[in-house]
Amino acid sequence: MATISDVASRAGVSTATVSRALNGKSTVDPELVARVIAAARELGYQPNGPARNLRRQEAAVLALIISDVENPFFTAIARGVEDVAHKVGYSVVLCNADENAAKERRYIDVAIQERVAGVIMSPTSTATNIDPLVNRSTPVVAVDRPLPGHPSDTVLVDTRLAAREATEHLLARGYRRIGCVTGPSGVRTAEDRLAGYRDALRAANQRGSTRLVRRTEFRAPGANRAAHELLAQPEPPDALLVANSAMAIGALGALAERGLRPGRDVGVVAFDDVPWAALVDPPLTVVAQPAYEIGTVAAQLLLARVNDGARPATTTTLAARLIERGSSHR
Amino acid sequence: MATISDVASRAGVSTATVSRALNGKSTVDPELVARVIAAARELGYQPNGPARNLRRQEAAVLALIISDVENPFFTAIARGVEDVAHKVGYSVVLCNADENAAKERRYIDVAIQERVAGVIMSPTSTATNIDPLVNRSTPVVAVDRPLPGHPSDTVLVDTRLAAREATEHLLARGYRRIGCVTGPSGVRTAEDRLAGYRDALRAANQRGSTRLVRRTEFRAPGANRAAHELLAQPEPPDALLVANSAMAIGALGALAERGLRPGRDVGVVAFDDVPWAALVDPPLTVVAQPAYEIGTVAAQLLLARVNDGARPATTTTLAARLIERGSSHR
DNA sequence: TTGTACGCGTTATCAA
DNA sequence: TTGATAACGCGTACAA
């Protein structure tokens, strides 16, 4: 494989000049630049990344550690991050922690070992430990969920308010016993959505009952079981607030299995506006989170911090938007 | 940040011994190993990846370049690759080419620059050029679509046969004018699905008509337009074979917009068994591709080739499975 | 079994 | 503006 000195001898210059020419330093004779570029092309020269990163003590790479690659919310974030990063010459490596603290820990180690410029992550839980990153002063931006412990740039959605509005919407539609299927305890978004739900009930002078609330993993099977449990009760809920789209699949499945029609029999609002939401019958009312924008904002914050480690940490909170469809209409 | 010589002095040994101890070489006194490990832990030592990769001339990293992160088919492949790679100590970096030849090209360059051990990719089109990888003898495994030019390990689904069976299923259900919405020309899976569709019509002594076929990008909006065009004709199709799940969303949307009910009015079979397929009304008949298994097989092939570059190239073809649901029932 | 010393390919410093 | 050279941190050949 061609190295920088191969290019240097072919162009009849020193390696230093090749390096300067290829990195666009302004202090190089234009004619030499042309010769270097030609030589590099002829040899199919590609710089050796590890050597460059070793020398520079940093790679033009951002790590994005997300909790679940199969969740469209997180893949949309990924696209936002990529679009911003690529524009300024950074690559993004996507790591799937799979809602698994051990995998997450492993990817944090990989990010450190590879000396990436910065890390964007959605922590799997409040147990997430970023001390290793902080100790090495690798910039970290949290998305979707805040990081425990250290102050860091954070991009969130006002999901508590969104959950409140969604619940108020159900109340306004005439549903009276609203249930909530949310994520595991220890995950901030799960807590916030539940809190927003309770805010709305309290504001309407309803006493929330724990019999109407279930916590489960953020996936379909758990939500399916949870919905069945709620609906099997003597006084079942007449509406459900569901905390993400995978869970919506489980919950809607449970309704179908019980012969209940969303909207008419049980009102349903779920978080995340997935492409198929408008397609089910009746179409699903959702809380649309600005996932792509979370990604772009996070990437901008991270790049800013890479260039200035002393910037004070900020928290950006984006608004979600309720999209009313048939599943919350009797 | 702690280096290997920090660990060495703390443990009272040489850097060579630290290296050997940490890499599990058998020729080290067990007591020294213990001291080294203790020192490394105390210092929070993490090896410098770039330095290690520079020295080793290779990184324990696989690149996975997929055509679309937002397509569940590809994210399932990614999980398969990850699970196999992690088991043997390799990391996976996921790159989203976004069905875009330029991004794909860029990620190939990144893979070369970072000197990854190997690349798994689903080529965006027959124009994909992997010469740069081949020239540097970086092992490549193609998934979903074959690579043009060079013989390489390849993991495919027998999608032509699957399309034929899906079409025969529609014929057996009594549909008589079957249309096909497939992907762009130049993409092998798009061609194969169309070919399988035509195989079935020919076997049934039907003359396929180009008026029943549309090609479009593998996304919902294109498929939506295509389905509208097909259905607006004087003699519209009474069934549709749709080439992936994103396109299914567009096509089902078109049916809804025209007040047509899947199954009863227009039979529908789509590729890829997505979680919501069973949830729409009527449930969607699909061709389930073994995506996760594609990933595991591809990773195994790649790792085998990393260890033995002389292995002959193989092509593995996996079978797809038709899952009959309501959308192909009158 | 352990230590010394070199080189991987690049960039940055310094001198010319 | 250019070139010689040192240094980044690690693994290993070789010597002890």
| Mean pLDDT score, B210-225 | 97
Which helix or strand (DSSP H or E) is residue A198 part of? helix A188-203
Count of all residues that appear for chain A in the document: 330
State whether A111 and A169 are in the same domain.
no
The whole domain housing A220 covers: 159-288+322-328
Could you check: is the Cβ of residue A29 within 7 Å of any atom of nucleic acid strand C?
Answer: no
SS3 A112: helix
End-to-end CA distance of chain A: 68
Q: What distance in Å separates residue B272's CA from the closest CA in chain A?
A: 14
Could you check: is the Cβ of residue B55 within 7 Å of any atom of nucleic acid strand C?
Answer: yes
Q: CA of A102 and C1' of C2: distance in angstroms?
A: 36
| Mean pLDDT score, B10-31 | 94
pLDDT-derived band at B150 (thresholds 50, 70, 90) equals: confident
Q: What is the pLDDT at residue B126?
A: 85
State whether B36 and B95 are in the same domain.
yes
CATH code for position A89: 3.40.50.2300
Q: What is the pLDDT at residue B248?
A: 98
Q: What is the pLDDT at residue B221?
A: 97
State whether B184 and B309 are in the same domain.
no
pLDDT tens-place values along chain A, 330 residues long: 899 999 999 999 999 999 999 999 988 999 999 999 999 999 999 999 999 999 999 899 999 999 999 999 999 999 999 999 999 999 999 999 988 999 999 999 999 999 999 999 999 988 899 999 999 999 999 999 999 888 999 999 999 999 999 999 999 999 999 999 999 998 999 999 999 999 999 999 998 889 999 999 999 999 999 999 999 999 999 999 999 999 999 999 999 999 999 999 999 999 999 999 999 989 999 999 999 999 999 999 999 999 998 899 999 999 999 999 999 998
* Bridge-based pairing state of the strands A321-323 and A285-288: antiparallel
| Mean pLDDT score, B171-186 | 96
Residue pLDDT, tens place only, B188-199: 999 999 999 999
Nucleotides of D under 7 A from a protein CB: 1-5, 7-13
Q: How far apart are CA A54 and CA B48, in angstroms?
A: 8
Check if the beta carbon of residue A320 is closer than 8 Å to that of residue A162: yes
Strand order of the sheet with strand A91-96? A315-318, A153-157, A140-143, A116-121, A59-66, A91-96, B91-96, B59-66, B116-121, B140-143, B153-157, B315-318
Residue pLDDT, tens place only, B49-93: 999 999 999 899 999 999 999 999 999 999 999 999 999 999 999
Which of B99, B114, B245, B274 would you mutate first to test chain A, the one with the most A CBs within 10 A? B114
Spatial CA neighbour of B106 closest among A51, A91, A7: A91
**What does pTM read for this prediction?**
0.94
Average pLDDT over chain B, rounded to an integer: 95
State whether A18 and A163 are in the same domain.
no
Other C-beta atoms within 10 Å of B216: how many?
22
SS3 A220: helix
What is the DSSP code (8-state) at residue A86? H
Q: What is the pLDDT at residue B207?
A: 85
Q: What distance in Å separates residue A147's CA from the closest CA in chain B?
A: 21
Q: Which of B70, B93, B96 sits opposite A72 (nearest CB)?
A: B70
Q: Considering just the CA atoms, what is the radius of gyration of chain A in Å?
A: 25
Q: Which amino acid is at A101?
A: A
State whether B227 and B299 are in the same domain.
no
Nucleotide of closest approach to A45 (CA, C1'): C9
Check if the beta carbon of residue B286 is closer than 8 Å to that of residue B271: yes
Q: At what angle do helices A245-257 and A220-231 cross, to 10 degrees?
A: 40
State whether B14 and B150 are in the same domain.
yes
State whether B8 and B148 are in the same domain.
yes
Q: What is the pLDDT at residue A201?
A: 97
State whether B145 and B17 are in the same domain.
yes
The answer to whether the Cβ–Cβ distance between B49 and A252 falls below 8 Å is no
Could you check: is the Cβ of residue B35 within 7 Å of any atom of nucleic acid strand C?
Answer: no
Check if the beta carbon of residue B78 is closer than 8 Å to that of residue B72: no
Could you check: is the Cβ of residue B53 within 7 Å of any atom of nucleic acid strand C?
Answer: no
**Tokens linked to A285:** 């009312």
Q: What is the pLDDT at residue B160?
A: 98
A224 alpha-carbon distance from chain centroid: 24
Check if the beta carbon of residue A326 is closer than 8 Å to that of residue A282: yes
- Residue, of B270 and B98, whose pLDDT is higher: B270
Other C-beta atoms within 10 Å of B74: how many?
24
Other C-beta atoms within 10 Å of B3: how many?
14
Q: How many domains does chain B have?
A: 2
Q: What is the pLDDT at residue B127?
A: 85
Tell me the CB-side half-sphere exposure of residue A11, using CA atoms within 13 A.
29
Q: How far apart are CA A146 and CA A315, in angstroms?
A: 9
Nucleotides of C under 7 A from a protein CB: 1-5, 7-13
Which of B22, B73, B93, B284 would you mutate first to test chain A, the one with the most A CBs within 10 A? B93
Which helix or strand (DSSP H or E) is residue A20 part of? helix A15-22
SS3 B179: strand
Q: Which of A47, A54, A281 sits opposite B54 (nearest CB)?
A: A54
Percent of residues, chain B, with pLDDT higher than 90: 92
Q: What distance in Å separates residue B232's CA from the closest CA in chain A?
A: 21
pLDDT-derived band at B172 (thresholds 50, 70, 90) equals: very high
Q: Looking at beta carbons, which residues of chain A come within 8 Å of B278?
A: 253
Q: What is the pLDDT at residue A270?
A: 98
State whether A30 and A119 are in the same domain.
yes
State whether A24 and A138 are in the same domain.
yes
Q: In sequence order, what DSSP letters do the residues of B241-284 get, joined into one string?
A: EESSHHHHHHHHHHHHHTTPPBTTTBEEEEES--GGGGTSSSPP
State whether A14 and A142 are in the same domain.
yes
Could you check: is the Cβ of residue A113 within 7 Å of any atom of nucleic acid strand D?
Answer: no
State whether B183 and B199 are in the same domain.
yes
